[in-house]
C-alpha cells in the first residue's frame, strides 16, 4: 500500500539525499513468500502404483510377523524382523543399495516363471548358523569362508524364510515362491534388465542386539502378469458362472452305484420264509424287455444283458428322459 508524503517529509528526504543518506531500498520492498520449487528425480521409476506399494508393503509386514515365530523356534533364540524402508528404483540402483558380500537367493515365481531376489547380510546368516549349531550369538561372528555344511544350513535357513514369504505372496497375488539358487550377491547377477523398475523393501533383523539387513527386490517384469491382482483391481468376472463350474466339478467326483435290475417283485414275509430250493418266483416281467438300469434309486433307462469277454455286461437300449 503506497503512502503520500507531506511537504516536510519531502524536504527531509531531499536534505538526506544531499548528505548521501539514502534510504535502504530493501527496507521499503514488501516481503513476498518465495515460490515453492519441487525437485523431480526423473531417473526414479514410477511403475509401481500407490496401490501396488501399499499392498506389497502390507504383505511384507505380515511376512515379518510370521517369520519371527518360525525362526525363533528353529534358532531357539528370540529374533525380530521389521520393515524399515521401501522405495522404487531401477534394477541397477536397487542392487547398489545392497551390502557387499550379501548372500542372495533367486526366487522363482510360480506359475508365471519369473524371478525376484531375496538377500541377507552375511553377518545375519553367520549368527543364525551359530544358533542352529547350538551356539549363542552374544558377539558378532567372525567372517569366514562358508563350508559345505554351512551352505547346507544356509539353504535350510533361506527355505524357512521363503516358505513364510511364499504364503503371503500367494495371498497377495496368487503365486508361489521357490528357491532357484543361493549365491554371494554381486552386481553382475541379472534377474532383470539394468533399467527395470524395481520395488525394494529393506528389512532389519535384530538377533540378541545384533542388527543386520535383509532385502527383497521385486522387478516389475516379475509381477506384471499378476499386477492387477496385486493392486486389487483384477478384471470382473461372472461369479455365478464360476460357482456353477465349481459345483459341477465337485459333483462330478461323487461316487455313484450303478446297478442293473432284472425285475422287482414284492413278497410277504411268510412267502419269503416259505422259499426253498426249487421254488419259482414270478417276476411278472418279460425276458425280451431286458433289464432296468439304475443310478442308486434313480432309473436311467433299459438295457440288454450280455457279456464282454469273461465278464458280464449290459448294452443300453434306451434312456429315461424324464427330469430327475
Write the CATH number for 124: 3.40.1550.10
Whether residue 281 is contained in a domain is answered as yes
Distance CA 323, CA 299 (A): 11
For the chain, the domain total comes to 2
**Which structural domain, as residue segments, surrounds residue 290?**
254-319
pLDDT in tens, 46-75: 889 999 999 999 999 999 999 999 998 888
Q: Residue for cell digits 534388465?
A: 193
Find, among 285, 292, 287, the residue nearest to 319 by Cα. Answer: 292
Whether residue 24 is contained in a domain is answered as no
Distance CA 84, CA 201 (A): 8
Q: Burial, 106: exposed, middle or buried (Cβ in 10 Å; 0-12, 13-18, 19+)?
A: middle
Do 149 and 288 lie in one domain? The reply is no
Do 224 and 258 lie in one domain? The reply is no
pLDDT in tens, 95-135: 888 888 789 999 999 999 999 999 999 989 998 988 888 87
Find the angle CA(110)-CA(115)-CA(121) to the nearest 5 degrees: 120
Highest mean pLDDT among 42-51, 221-230, 287-296: 221-230
Do 261 and 219 lie in one domain? The reply is no
Do 117 and 260 lie in one domain? The reply is no
Amino acid at each position: 500500500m503506497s503512502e503520500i508524503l507531506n511537504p516536510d517529509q519531502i524536504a527531509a528526504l531531499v536534505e538526506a539525499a544531499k548528505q548521501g543518506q539514502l534510504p535502504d531500498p530493501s527496507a521499503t520492498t514488501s516481503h513476498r513468500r518465495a515460490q515453492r520449487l519441487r525437485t523431480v528425480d526423473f531417473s526414479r521409476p514410477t511403475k509401481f502404483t500407490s496401490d501396488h506399494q501399499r499392498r506389497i508393503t502390507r504383505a511384507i509386514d505380515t511376512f515379518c510377523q510370521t517369520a519371527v515365530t518360525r525362526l525363533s523356534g528353529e534358532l531357539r533364540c528370540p529374533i525380530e524382523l521389521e520393515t524399515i524402508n521401501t522405495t522404487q528404483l531401477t534394477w541397477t540402483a536397487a542392487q547398489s543399495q545392497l551390502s557387499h558380500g550379501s548372500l542372495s537367493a533367486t526366487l522363482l515365481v510360480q506359475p508365471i516363471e519369473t524371478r525376484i531376489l531375496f538377500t541377507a547380510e552375511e553377518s545375519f546368516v553367520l549368527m543364525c548358523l551359530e544358533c542352529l549349531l547350538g551356539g549363542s550369538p552374544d558377539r558378532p561372528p567372525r567372517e569366514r569362508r562358508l563350508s559345505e555344511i554351512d551352505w547346507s544350513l544356509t539353504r535350510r535357513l533361506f527355505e524357512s524364510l521363503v516358505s513364510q514369504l511364499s504364503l503371503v505372496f500367494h495371498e497377495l497375488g496368487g503365486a508361489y515362491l521357490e528357491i532357484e539358487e543361493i549365491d554371494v550377491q554381486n552386481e553382475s547377477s541379472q534377474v532383470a534388465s539394468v533399467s527395470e523398475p524395481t520395488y525394494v523393501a529393506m528389512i532389519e533383523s535384530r538377533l540378541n542386539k545384533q542388527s543386520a539387513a535383509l532385502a527383497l527386490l521385486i522387478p516389475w517384469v516379475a509381477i506384471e502378469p499378476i499386477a492387477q491382482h496385486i493392486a486389487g483391481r483384477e478384471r470382473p468376472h461372472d461369479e455365478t458362472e464360476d460357482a456353477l463350474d465349481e459345483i459341477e466339478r465337485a459333483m462330478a467326483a461323487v461316487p455313484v452305484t450303478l446297478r442293473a435290475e432284472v425285475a422287482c417283485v414284492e413278497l410277504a414275509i411268510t412267502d419269503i420264509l416259505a422259499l426253498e430250493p426249487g421254488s419259482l418266483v414270478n417276476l411278472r416281467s418279460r425276458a425280451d424287455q431286458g433289464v432296468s438300469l439304475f443310478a442308486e434309486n434313480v432309473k436311467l433307462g433299459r438295457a440288454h444283458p450280455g457279456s464282454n469277454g469273461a465278464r458280464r455286461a449290459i448294452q443300453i437300449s434306451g434312456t429315461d428322459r424324464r427330469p430327475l
